[in-house]
Structure 1
Amino acid sequence: MRALRTFRAVALDLDGTTLNSSHALTPRTLAALRKVEATGVQVILATGRPLISVQAYVEQLGLPRPVPAVCFNGACAALVDGAGEKILLSRGLSRSAAESILQICDDRGWCASYCQSHGSAAAPKTEADDGWLKKFEALEGMQQARVASLWEMLDEPPLKVTALAADPRGQAAEARKLLPPGAANVVAAEMHIEFLPADVNKGDTLQRLCSELGMKVDEVIAFGDNFNDMEMLSLAGEGVAMQNAKEELKQVANRVSPWTNDQDAVARELELLLEPE
């Protein structure tokens, strides 16, 4: 384990990693992140959540400088503080890719969301869809607009499209087979799948963000738990998987924490890194 002073930044997935199962930052985690920032090491958030959903956590952290954030699983990167956000990078789906994705969702009866930097919209067809969507909104920490049809929104291509999934891994594999080659990167998530531009993922955008911040990605220690963290943990100078992480992520991580997100794994790991040698 390298000392914290050998890194210039800490990149943190939120759900399943930095947040507990109640989607909260615990007092111990807040204290550890503030101590990290006080050493001069940059705290970076890297999440599948929309940019709007990150604001509350940044305000809770109360750090003295804006927090760089990779959002939408890499489709957007911004500097976030109490006054709002400044978008640094944005890479959305093409119209043709969005059309292919919406057609697959319609054909399969998947309830989809059309995600843009200023908010998301969905067109649930049944009461069951709407109830399921409300659970997803609770997970993301933001409400989505309800519209009659997502097809009406194509004049402004989305950053990503999500689809609710009872079997995220299986439905992601199905979607990959149905899409035109190179149309999108399909990621399995907690209760949904995500369609991103083909070359977009957290790791690639973190690397681009690091360049904007004047550092290299191998100067970052990254923490994650799910499939969407694979590239980020692979590219970082050190990648740490939570004990509760997917087995596939544990295989690409440099090491696996002995603790879960509900055991303050990120805080415990950072406390060890902060200890004097």
Structure 2
Amino acid sequence: MKRIFLLGFLLIQTLLFAQEKWDIQFYNEVVNREVFIYADNKEEMPMSAQFQFKLKNLTSTLPNDEIVVIPPKTRKFLIAKLAPIKANEGNSFSYSNSYNFGNALQETFDDDYIYSLPFEKGKTQSIFQGYDGKFSHQNEFALDFDLKIGAPIVAARDGIAVVVINNNTRSCPDISCAKYNNKIIIIHSDGTFADYSHLKYQGAIVTKGDLVKKDQLIGYSGSTGFASGPHLHFAVFINRIDGKRTFIKTKFKTSESEATLLEEGKSYTKNY
């Protein structure tokens, strides 16, 4: 019986990050009559993928729609093995997949971590939109710091810069402008991400892959993207395969407290 192998391959990237091209590759190798599907992930963070298979006379070690997490800086990571059911019959396969950054299966994180205020020592800044804010933070644990254009932004926690978008100049107070956000996204040691958004044009001074230390200068505030004025949008989250985020409440050290949740309408001083 003639053996037939038909490969169809579709990559779907989350529209929220259409500006970013992830350095990940999926491919397959045929050994005897078995098919091995692999991934090379050159990113500094895990990537999550979800597959849909169409199989004829083959079984897969990875069920349809099950999410697989590919570790960072990994080559030839085995995604699935396809094996014949009946040895003397023809077989074929095709598959499609979608993928996104981060460990989409993650549920635990360091809930006790104390963040540093993301602005300069000696400054006092207000929170003009807090958790579940009415303008753009519905169902989000995100904070908007009232930073003027060009104000220094420092890292609230150690990590690695995994997204740096720096070239946008446009803004408007509508969600349609979210694609114009200049931003830095940093992955932390517990797998969570911090989003620093609305930086000014060419406002980031770190590049993708840089190790970032807590309180290190990473960029300058602006008003790009979905913004009605200059500010720093800050949020910590776990990313999901469909681009949705599980937001995490973050405690900060301030001049008045060693660990506090920041509230909308209040001002906080950094004395460290």
TM-score normalised according to structure 2 size: 0.25
> More helix by proportion, 1 or 2?
1
* RCO higher in structure (CA 8 A, sep ≥6): 1
TM-score normalised according to structure 1 size: 0.24
Tell me which structure has the larger Cα radius of gyration. 2
